[in-house]
Chain A
Amino acid sequence: MAQPDLLRVEGLSVWYPGAGRPALADLDLAVAPGECVAVVGPSGSGKSTLCRALLDLLPPGSRCTGRIAWCGEDLVAGSARWRGLRGGALGLVLQDHRHALDPVRRVGDQLDEVVALRAPHLDRAARRRRVAELLAAVHLDQVPDVARRHAHELSGGQRQRVNLAATLAGGPRLLLADEPTTALDLPVQREILALLLSLVRDAGLSLLLVTHDRDLVPLVADRVLEVGAATPAVATGTAPATGSTVPTTARLAARRVHVSVASRGGPRDVVCGVDLELAPGRTVGLAGESGSGKTTLLRALAGWLRPRAGSVELAGPVPAAPAARRRLVQLVSQDPAAALDPQQTVHAAIREAASQVAGRRDAAERARRLLADVDLTADLGRRLPRELSGGQRQRAQLARALAVAPWFLLADEPTSSLDPDRRLALLALLARLREVHGIGLVIASHDLGLLAARADEVVVMHAGLIVERYRPARHAEPRHPFAAALAAASPTRLTPADLRLPSVARGDTRPAAPGRRLVGPGCPYAPRCPHAEPACRTALPPLVEETDGRWLRCPVRGLGAR
């Protein structure tokens, strides 16, 4: 063997404390210098466990057998050698850009700290040069004054780049990337992946990419390692135990809803005058990138937030008690880890919800059936949320929402933490709920292709405004330039060429939070719009009903008002 593998894993098995079954069983893996290896598998298959084991960060009490070797040298748990590798030659790119940066310190200072830790001999000026180099390496040098910004002044993609820069400061030879793109918008995902690839190619690094997204893998990896068994589809036999059918007169409507949030310089509208009407048995797709106001709108619809102006109205045979009214509109959050009580087992959470509409005995039975409906075993039901995978938590949250027999279910990015197989199963489950019980659905997603395939009506939001409303069955393609760009970024249309484009790799120099620029008088999409005309920058176009029945906020691409 001319050159030993950079990393070699043989027969690695990991048991968590108290677990009978190993979280990871007999895994073999080798990464050669300059190689890019992808580890794919459904959630719960032990991907994150592998990352922790490689970093010697398994929770105390875990049992671990097998062999992990770095450049042919066996690594011993708890050794100083392994600690030295971690964050140094063995660099970690974290999954969640939101929590990985210190919110109160400037980006440059945080990088400076890492540089100082790795190279104590450098003086201040040298460290500053090094920070600038690192920022250039992740293509952030074009963003003005990026080193002086705080984490919240950066977009998700920019934050993930800063994380990557911090990892590069350690002088890594192997990058361990645990789902590096899951928390990002699709176009930004591509940019980050392209950047990772260019680092591997140009700087001769190796990459171990852990992901559940099989679509991305062939574009990136030299070799693929599958972990975990294929997942069974969601049980389709019985209709979900949601209880009675939704009354046909039920309506949930938003009328001219403005919702504002506190920000520097006073409150600011993130939803600006949205009209929306939901009916039982219908699916509305809410499309938009992050920051477009989708989540805020859903929260206002669910009654979690009070609109600044306008109203949210629930009509139909609505009970008088406020608590019973609240129950009828359920929001399934994008972040199931935050939406579940960390101290409550999944079964207890669902039972508690079910007890709002059923007696004590029935509630327990109902909770058991709901767990089965979303394909969670009784054993998983006895666990706390943190002991579940992201996908399992998402399904637990859905079961809890269904337990109170809602009329309307608002699902915020319901598939973002799921594997492709599960994704289809979850969407099928939602469709079945709609058919059998007549639940009214809203699915919010940045994947316009996915929504167009499932929704009766698609509502595209940008910067808190509805920019287009159309029926996929009737209109086929969206017309608004933003909606068209969103449709083009749908992962079904992703090709390898998209990841090799240098322009994409150097992109993401847009303003910090795209789409939140609500100050100017013109169309908020005009600065990025290929069809923009001078008039677009001076006045906000109205949302008008076009001759073909769609609603569009773009005079340039419009066919003319009806």
Chain B
Amino acid sequence: MLRRPAPAWSLDLRLGLWLVLLGIALAAAAAWLAPGDPSALGPTGQTLLAPSWRHLLGTDALGRDVLVRLLHGGRVSLLVGWASMVVATVLGTLVGLGAGLARRPVRAALTAVIDLFLAFPGVYLVLLLVAVSRPSLGLLVLVLSVSTWMDTARLVRTEAMALRDREFVAAARGLGLSAGAVAWRHVLPNLLPTVLVAGALRIGQTILVESFLSFLGLGPQEPLVTWGGMIAQGRAHLLDAWWLTAFPGLAIAVTVLAYNLLADGLRGRFWGEGQGEEVHGGAA
């Protein structure tokens, strides 16, 4: 009779995780669910069909099935989002650890590098880089990670500096561990929750930026399908064929929401619950 409700899988976390996994599964299975080239022209007379049983989300001006293109477009968005997150997080964490823990001159130099990158207007940098060279997936990932790693680095630096003053870090140094071992085994594991939450948020934001670039025609080019690109193409038929813009827009919104929910859920799991217990966590 004194039972408590089940543990800390909050609604945010469950919903976010489900949506994220669903998105990954759909993107991974796109080639199997909708075989063939999503950019190949459809049969004549099939252009701009409204959603029906034959074409669940309708067809576009070139007679291509919107659902098929949506599935393939998801692959690009998720790939870009995850890849830039991984690059930005690894880079940001390494620089942030150095800027928080290294000897004074190194620390100051790394901090200056972070601030320098932060001072650059990131969006224009992205636009410039993408505009002067031929847009490709690799370049896009590079540009997106180079313009976002500083946030992670700042977070990691702040946390690392706080952890550096904690007693268990001093104790680890006192045991004779090298600075690298202390950073790797005692500081990094303790700021991993921060990095994970920031990473989940980063994926959603990157997907949003990627869609925006693709909408401007600066993203990956045909034959690769992107959600932003689909919206751009559908813009001409905004009034007579709403499904061309509505469904890719919805896909972007749901995907970004999913990663934000995941990040919130993770935050709750790491810090939200259990603080009340710590208050009297002394004896027993």
A interface list, Cβ under 8 A from B: 17, 23, 43-53, 57-68, 74, 76-78, 94-96, 99-100, 178-179, 182, 212, 299, 302-304, 323-324, 326-327, 329-331, 333, 335, 337-344, 352-353, 356, 386, 389-391, 397, 400-401, 403-404, 417
The residue in chain B whose Cβ has the minimal distance to the Cβ of A47 is B284
18 A-B pairs (CB sep. < 8 Å)? A43-B284, A44-B283, A47-B283, A59-B274, A61-B6, A76-B2, A95-B282, A99-B279, A178-B280, A179-B282, A303-B174, A304-B170, A304-B174, A331-B171, A339-B167, A341-B189, A352-B177, A386-B278
B280 touches A48 (CB 8 A): yes
CA–CA, A150 and B26, complex, Å: 55
A390 touches B190 (CB 8 A): no
Does B173 have its Cβ within 8 Å of any Cβ on chain A?
Answer: yes
Contacting residues, chain A, for B2 (C-beta < 8 A):
53, 64-66, 68, 76-77
Q: Mark B245-284, 1 if CB is under 8 A from A, else 0.
A: 0000000000000000000000000000110111111111
Most buried by A among B1, B2, B189, B280: B2
- Could you say which interface size class chain B belongs to? 35 or more
A61 touches B7 (CB 8 A): yes
CA–CA, A397 and B174, complex, Å: 13
Contacting residues, chain A, for B185 (C-beta < 8 A):
341, 344, 352
Inter-chain pairs besides A44-B283, A44-B284, A341-B190, 6 sampled, C-beta below 8 Å:
A51-B280, A64-B4, A323-B176, A343-B190, A344-B189, A417-B283
The residue in chain A whose Cβ has the minimal distance to the Cβ of B179 is A323
Most buried by A among B8, B185, B280, B284: B284
A302 touches B277 (CB 8 A): no
Interface residues of B in 67-85 (CB under 8 A from A): none
Nearest CB in chain A: distance from B194 CB, A? 13
A43 touches B277 (CB 8 A): no
Contacting residues, chain A, for B14 (C-beta < 8 A):
none
A386 touches B281 (CB 8 A): yes
Contacting residues, chain A, for B177 (C-beta < 8 A):
323, 352, 356
Nearest CB in chain A: distance from B81 CB, A? 28
Nearest CB in chain B: distance from A266 CB, A? 20
Nearest CB in chain A: distance from B180 CB, A? 11
Most buried by A among B171, B178, B273: B171
Does B132 have its Cβ within 8 Å of any Cβ on chain A?
Answer: no
The residue in chain A whose Cβ has the minimal distance to the Cβ of B273 is A60
CA–CA, A182 and B283, complex, Å: 10
A302 touches B174 (CB 8 A): yes
Does B117 have its Cβ within 8 Å of any Cβ on chain A?
Answer: no
Contacting residues, chain B, for A397 (C-beta < 8 A):
171
The residue in chain B whose Cβ has the minimal distance to the Cβ of A342 is B190
Interface of B (DSSP majority class): loop
Contacting residues, chain A, for B242 (C-beta < 8 A):
none
Contacting residues, chain B, for A49 (C-beta < 8 A):
284
B7 touches A333 (CB 8 A): no
CA–CA, A67 and B175, complex, Å: 48
Interface residues of B in 38-96 (CB under 8 A from A): none
Does B235 have its Cβ within 8 Å of any Cβ on chain A?
Answer: no
CA–CA, A340 and B170, complex, Å: 10
Q: Which of B5, B173, B176, B276 contacts A57 (CB 8 A)?
A: B276
CA–CA, A52 and B37, complex, Å: 61
B176 touches A327 (CB 8 A): yes
Q: Which of A17, A64, A356 contacts B175 (CB 8 A)?
A: A356
B3 touches A339 (CB 8 A): no
B274 touches A48 (CB 8 A): no
The residue in chain B whose Cβ has the minimal distance to the Cβ of A299 is B170
Nearest CB in chain A: distance from B1 CB, A? 7
A60 touches B8 (CB 8 A): yes
Q: Which of A23, A59, A62, A96 contacts B282 (CB 8 A)?
A: A96
Contacting residues, chain A, for B273 (C-beta < 8 A):
60
Nearest CB in chain A: distance from B257 CB, A? 26
CA–CA, A338 and B281, complex, Å: 12
A338 touches B167 (CB 8 A): yes
B283 touches A212 (CB 8 A): yes
CA–CA, A333 and B279, complex, Å: 20
Contacting residues, chain B, for A58 (C-beta < 8 A):
4
Contacting residues, chain B, for A95 (C-beta < 8 A):
280, 282-283
Nearest CB in chain B: distance from A511 CB, A? 27
Nearest CB in chain A: distance from B151 CB, A? 24
CA–CA, A100 and B279, complex, Å: 7
Nearest CB in chain A: distance from B223 CB, A? 47
Does B172 have its Cβ within 8 Å of any Cβ on chain A?
Answer: yes
Nearest CB in chain B: distance from A64 CB, A? 4
**Known interface pairs A63-B3, A77-B4, A323-B176; A333-B284 also in contact (CB < 8 Å):** no
Contacting residues, chain B, for A94 (C-beta < 8 A):
279-280
B282 touches A327 (CB 8 A): no
A341 touches B282 (CB 8 A): no
Does B168 have its Cβ within 8 Å of any Cβ on chain A?
Answer: yes
The residue in chain B whose Cβ has the minimal distance to the Cβ of A77 is B2
Does B186 have its Cβ within 8 Å of any Cβ on chain A?
Answer: yes
Nearest CB in chain A: distance from B101 CB, A? 15
Q: Closest 9 A-B residue pairs measured CB to CB?
A: A48-B284, A327-B176, A64-B2, A338-B167, A60-B7, A43-B283, A323-B176, A343-B189, A61-B7
Nearest CB in chain A: distance from B54 CB, A? 49
Interface residues of B in 1-36 (CB under 8 A from A): 1-8
B283 touches A389 (CB 8 A): yes
Contacting residues, chain A, for B274 (C-beta < 8 A):
59
B284 touches A46 (CB 8 A): yes
Contacting residues, chain B, for A78 (C-beta < 8 A):
4-5
Q: Which of B1, B175, B279 contacts A327 (CB 8 A)?
A: B175
Q: Which of B1, B5, B176, B284 contacts A60 (CB 8 A)?
A: B5
The residue in chain B whose Cβ has the minimal distance to the Cβ of A178 is B280
Contacting residues, chain B, for A329 (C-beta < 8 A):
174
A62 touches B280 (CB 8 A): no
Does B166 have its Cβ within 8 Å of any Cβ on chain A?
Answer: yes
Nearest CB in chain B: distance from A514 CB, A? 24
CA–CA, A100 and B175, complex, Å: 31
A77 touches B280 (CB 8 A): no
Contacting residues, chain B, for A45 (C-beta < 8 A):
284
The residue in chain A whose Cβ has the minimal distance to the Cβ of B185 is A352
